[in-house]
Amino acid sequence: MSKYWEVLSANNITSERLASYERKITTEPWHKPEAIPDFENYLAILKRMHSSDDLNLLIGEAKGHVGGDTHSLMHDLQANFKDHDCVRQMDRALALRSNLCQHHYDRHNAQKLKDVCFLDLALEAYVRKLSEKIMHIDIGFDNYVREVAIILNNLCLSYQWEELKYCRDDWAVLVQTLAKNLNEDNARKVKSVIDRLKQLLAEVNEVIENALQSKAEMMGTAFKCDDFAVKLFSEEVLRGTLFFSLSMILKKIDPHVRKCAHLGDWLIISAGRSHGSRGYVENVPKLYDVMHKTYEQRTILLVDKITGEEEVPSNVQAIILLNSSDYPDVLAHVSVRARNLKVLLAVLFDDRQCQDLKNLLGKHLVLKAENNMITIQE
């Protein structure tokens, strides 16, 4: 109890303050383990009444509609909620989702369809949650390859997108085989699949933008929503899906594959205008510091740091991130904005070329993306 009062006191909470609340707190806490089951039962009742995405609840609802094989997959998932291997648990969720989608979407039984559909949605969200749980942990190249395969299979269950299925098949047949022996030739083949996936993600972004953004702006204006919420609506929808998890993992895989494939010094995130992006060269330490600036003349920005959350400054036609191991993924906010505005966004990894570009400060350049590299013309 002394520790309890020590922590409260350190945060300026006294017994007098607790007693002054509308609902007074005048009793010290005490240990009452026998009450735990009653509170857990009460929580289950609350969830049954109000929750639409509690996984245990939804599994319980769907169990009455499915057979023994599906029951086994459900039990396996529930028994391993605390498994430290998130990728392995993602695999279990995928196995259950696949079973539900293949055998239990019964259009002639409305109650079964509803229960199975809600469980399927919750499983998709659970896979995303597991992926985000380990997103900032280095789980190793082999596990990243395995995780991408699981996410692609989940996305194919959720979206009827032909290109997505082709990419999933490429990953299963080509990448998961060649990744075990990543020599230069194999790495180049793997890189081709990664590039195809990045093109797919850019297409997904464009489709969701076209489908949602104009409606969001019309409704958001009518609701008098904050401008930033309206402006970012479709982008935030996309960032709440497994596509964003896929984008983040590809970002982790890409440098290793590029190194093994001995690829060029450029990574192009947004290709910019087809006829080239032009402007006067300026250098800034952080894109964040100038993102709201309006440049008087067309500008090419050389940047030392980009977090991914920045806006593209007005009148900037190209942004070059100089030799950074921390660069934005293809679905980061700045990447999406750059593509939508036709602004060139690229990372340059070679120190000598970075210095050559810095030596051109104040010069007028034309940059053009061609064959995974940038041509520079003064």
What is the C-alpha separation between 114 and 297, in angstroms, rounded?
57
CA torsion sign for 170, 124, 247, 314 is positive
Helix (H) or strand (E) holding 227: helix 227-231
Structure tokens at 192: 């081709």
Residue 99: CB atoms within 10 Å: 17
Say if CB 194 and CB 257 are below 8 A apart. yes
What is the C-alpha separation between 107 and 378, in angstroms, rounded?
63
Which of 50, 71, 75, 333 is the catalytic position? Answer: 333
Helix (H) or strand (E) holding 169: helix 162-170
Residue 136 annotated as catalytic: no
Say if CB 215 and CB 233 are below 8 A apart. no
Burial 318-351 (b: 16+ CB within 10 A, else e): bbbbbeeeebbbbbbbbbbbbbebebbbbbbbee
Say if CB 97 and CB 124 are below 8 A apart. yes
Q: How far is CA 108 from CA 41, 59, 112, 114, in A?
A: 34, 20, 9, 11
β-sheet bridge partners, residue 267:
347
Active site residues: 333
